[in-house]
Amino acid sequence: MHGGTLAFPILSMLVFVPVAGALLITLLSKRRPEYMKLVAAVSSIVTGAMSVWLVAEFDGHATGFQFVSKHTWIEQWGISWHLGVDGISLFLIVLTGVLFPLAILGIDPHNDDPARDKPYFAWLLLLEAGVMGSFLSLDLFLFFVFFEIVLVPMYFLIGGWGYEGRVQAATKFFLYTMIGSAFMLVSIIATVFIASRNGVGHVTFDLVEIAEHASFAASTGRWLFFGFAVAFAVKVPIFPLHTWLPDAHTQAPTAGSVVLAGVMLKLGTYGLLRFGLYLFPEASLWSRHLWLSLAVIGIIYGAIAATMQKDLKRLVAYSSVAHLGFIVLGIFAVTSQALTGAVMQMVNHGVSTGALFLLVGMIYERRHTRQIADLKGIQAVAPIFAATFMIVMLSSIGVPGLNGFVGEYLILIGAFLSARWYVVVAATGVILAALYLLWAYQRVFHGEPDDDNKTFAELKMKEAAVLLPFIGVIVFTGVYPKPMLERIEPAVDALIAHVETRTGHVAPQPTTIVIDEVTHEEGEG
């Protein structure tokens, strides 16, 4: 527990500021709807600014958690308000911090009654607090609380501001995730009490303490891991537990889809890392072939299903199933490159898919349809809009020089060391990604625009301002990923070292052949 520290409780503030914003909105008068968006924008921008500040202050060389904030909450059960950040969670925090203001500013809810702005923005801010808390919690109980809090605002956002099939989609989303969480709750309680008698010595919900000291019997650990794994597998979602996702994505309001794809799905992959691999290394490795298989199936299956979708939002939703498959592959490959790539890809997917949902939302605002068949020839009338879509799409396809490639490449090259044949199959996913996205692009943007699409409006200044940060991140991270990689890697290496000492498993390394002429220009590191 060393590294960056600040007198200012920045992590707690990352959770409290959005909560305060949400509270303020509920206290404001319904008759002043114009203040709602202002409060939401200000509090999310403040949170975003703090998250960026966090990166600046973050000590890239330190391992372990930084800016730790720990206060006892329920003493007799060992529950505490325990927050901390490391290289694995750092960029997910920033992603959350930056994505929310863009989602709030970028696209307005389609409210006929302005009074409905009030609950909309309040729910969005509460959602942000929940997501932040989930990524920051180092206490099992606290994590569970935040993990569950997230569901409620999302349920109301989909059900209240979604499209034609919203109620059914919201219910499906809620029930599906709740069932997963039920498994996790049982596992959390069992973990705590079994751990207290096996190495920890007292009842505590503290993640770090349990992970470092508890020693579970193999079969016990596997059962406990199973409970967590079900909850996270639903959240990711991993095939075949994914069918809530296309419905939820399609029916959610644009901001909801952006947040859902951008950060909420990462609660699943992040959970698999933090509460799977870290807490139950033995069980994770024991079951890795199952995970790797499901990941590869997800990559291929998600891509094929995406190809045949008729609804643009559903297509992007299925592409998420494929992309998240890559991330799961990276996690359970357990090599330095693959895990670093997986963490990076969580952020990259958030950026590119977030931007894609914004763009699809803008198409919907103009044409009131998401059906690919209703759209045609948009590039001829709105070239800048089309070019923006193109860049984001190329990032999603994984073209080198853009962010999506770096993460995917690291996942695959790292996984090749430990799971070669999975990679051989998974790499065909890059062909399929080009297939479904380019085909969709052709149908929507190419061709001669028909009468309905002739008046498609070009990108507006306000929209461009929201999309520009996405494009900036996409290009910068693709060309110069080092600042990001060097902050992620120490945490990933520490995690691998932890897995290695707990299980005796050794992560495979590449063979190095020393040849005289070859000298490596080491970065200043």
Partner 1 sequence: MLEVIWLIPAFPLAGFLLILLFGRRLGDPKAGYLAATMVLASFVVAVGAFFDLRTMPAEERQHVEVLFSWVPVSSLHIDMAFLADPLSLTMCLFVTGVGFLIHLYAVGYMHGDPKFSKFFLYMNLFVTSMVVLVLGENLLVTFLGWEGVGTCSYFLISFWHTRDSAATAGKKAFITNRVGDWGVMLAMFWSFQAIGSVSYSALNGAAESGALARSTATAIAMLLFVGAVGKSAQLPLYLWLPDAMEGPTPVSALIHAATMVTAGVFLMTRVSPVLEASAVWAPQVIAWIGALTALFAASIAVAQNDIKKVLAYSTVSQLGYMFLAIGSGAYVAAIFHMVTHAFFKALLFLGAGSVIHGMHHEQDMRRMGQIRRYMPITAGTFIVGWLAIAGVPPFAGFWSKDEILLFVLADNIALYVIGIVTALLTAYYMTRQVIMVFFGEAKWESHAEEHGAHGEFKPHESPPIMLIPLVVLAGLAIVGGLIQLPSFGWVPSGAQHQLENWTEPVIEFAEADIAGTWADGHKLILIGIAVASGLIGIALAWLVYQRKRFRPVEPQLLEEGWKYDQTVSAFMGGPGRKAFEAVAWFDSAVVDGAVHGVARLVRGSAGEIRKAQTGNVRNYAGIVGVGVVLLLAWFVIFRGVM
> Distance between CA atoms of 34 and 17, rounded to whole angstroms?
20
> Distance between CA atoms of 382 and 132, rounded to whole angstroms?
37
> Distance between CA atoms of 416 and 423, rounded to whole angstroms?
6
Q: Residue 83's beta-bridge partner residues?
A: 69, 137
List Cβ neighbours of 327 (8 Å cut-off, separation of 6 or more): 236, 269, 342, 345, 346, 349, 411
67 Rama class: left (phi>0) / alpha (psi -120 to 50) / beta: left
Least separation in angstroms between CB 157 and partner 1: 22
List Cβ neighbours of 421 (8 Å cut-off, separation of 6 or more): none
Which residue number, 210 or 412, has a Cβ lying nearer to partner 1?
412
Least separation in angstroms between CB 419 and partner 1: 11
- From residue 472, alpha-carbon distances to 321, 402, 449, 467 in Å are 25, 10, 30, 9
Which residue number, 141 or 176, has a Cβ lying nearer to partner 1?
176
Least separation in angstroms between CB 34 and partner 1: 36
Least separation in angstroms between CB 362 and partner 1: 20
Least separation in angstroms between CB 144 and partner 1: 24
Least separation in angstroms between CB 454 and partner 1: 12
Which residue number, 173 or 280, has a Cβ lying nearer to partner 1?
173
Least separation in angstroms between CB 397 and partner 1: 8
List Cβ neighbours of 13 (8 Å cut-off, separation of 6 or more): 50
Which residue number, 254 or 379, has a Cβ lying nearer to partner 1?
379
Q: How far is CA 235 from the centre of its chain?
A: 10
Looking up tokens 């590294």 gives: 3
Which residue number, 283 or 334, has a Cβ lying nearer to partner 1?
334
Which residue number, 13 or 399, has a Cβ lying nearer to partner 1?
399
> Which element (helix H / strand E) includes 357?
helix 336-367
Which residue number, 52 or 497, has a Cβ lying nearer to partner 1?
497
